[in-house]
Structure 1
Amino acid sequence: MALLRGLRAAYLKPLARFSLASMATTATIRDVELKERDLRLHWRDSDRRPSDVLYLFLRDNCTEPESFDKSSRQRLFNPAFDVDLNLTAKEAIVAPDGKKVTITWSDDHRSNYTASWLAERCDGETDCTARLTTKELWTTQTKSAARLPAFDYATIRDDSTKLLDMLLSLETHGLAIVRNCGESDDFVEEFANVAAGYPFTTTYGNKRSFVAHGTRDGTGLRTHLPSYQYVPPISGIHCIARENVTGGTYLFSDGFRAAELLRKRNPEAFRLLSEMPIYFKDDPGPEFKHATETWHPTIIVDEDGHILQVCVNDGMRTPHVAVDFQDQLCDWYDAYYEFMDIIEDTQFVLRHDFEPGQLIVKDNFRILDGVERMEIAGEGKSHMNVVYVGWDEARSRARVLKTKLFGDED
Structure 2
Amino acid sequence: AEDDDLLPSTQGHEFVFQGNFGDVELGASFTAYHYACIKQQVPITRVQDVLCRSGILYLGSLSQTFRKFFGQDTVDQIVQCFTERYWPRDLDVKEDRRQVQEWFNFLEDEANLTEASDLILKAGSNPRNRKLWLYILNAMERLAQSQTSTNKSEATVMTRYVVPLLEVFLNKPQNNVILDTPNTIAKVVQHRKQLKDEKQGKRPDVRLSAVDINGDMVIEIGHGEIKSGKHDKGGAAVSRDLVRVGLFMKDQLDAADDTYGVSNSLSLGMQFNGCKALFFLMSKCRNFYIMMQVATMTIPDSIATLSKVSSEYKLWRQLEKAVVDGYQPLIDAIRKGRSGVLKEHFPTTTSPDLNKIKTKY
Normalised by the length of structure 1, the TM-score is 0.21
Q: Tell me which protein shows more helix as a share of its residues.
A: 2
Normalised by the length of structure 2, the TM-score is 0.23
- Highest relative contact order (Cα 8 Å, sep 6+), 1 or 2? 1
Q: Tell me which protein shows more strand as a share of its residues.
A: 1
